[in-house]
Homo-oligomer: A and B are copies of this chain.
């Protein structure tokens, strides 16, 4: 599914990635678009912000949501210079984004030294089989937050 302006908007995401490298950030960029208009644009600011979550896609979702004054920026399209990593793709699902358009693949990111493909493989495994140690301690008290949530009448579902 390719739409009018996809190529131009994706080129803008690539331009953000180039600017990001010039500014000392990682080689990734993204733009968030609604009704054909760019809402937010960003590069990767992990090292600049001391924030391992500050990937370009997370940055455009956070800024775009703030600007749109919503935690649910549905009806938007995210253009990314590279296939989103699992963290960013997870954020894209939570943000109810309509569509993702990307240029480089996770394997091209791997050739540039980034772990995206490796993290995708880890996430597909059951917790116990991952390289990262996971401890599952099902304390009885674990049910309280969900029960309180279900009972709360004025809750804001998301």
Contact A103 B158 (CB under 8 A): no
Q: Which of B28, B70, B87, B122 contacts A145 (CB 8 A)?
A: B28
Question: In the bound complex, how far is the Cα of B70 from the Cα of A94, in angstroms?
Answer: 27
Q: Flag whether A21 is at the interface (Cβ < 8 A).
A: yes
Q: Most chain-B CB neighbours within 10 Å: which of A119, A139, A145?
A: A145
Using Cβ atoms and an 8 Å threshold, which residues of chain B touch A52? 61, 65, 71-73, 91, 94-96, 158
Q: Which of B3, B62, B104 contacts A53 (CB 8 A)?
A: B62
Tell me if A134 and B100 are in contact (CB < 8 A).
yes
CB <8 Å contact, B149 and A21? yes
Cβ of B50 and Cβ of A61 under 8 Å apart? no
- Tell me whether A115 is interfacial, beta carbon within 8 Å: yes
Complex CA distance for A87 and B120, rounded to whole angstroms: 11
CA distance A53 to B84 in the complex (A): 14
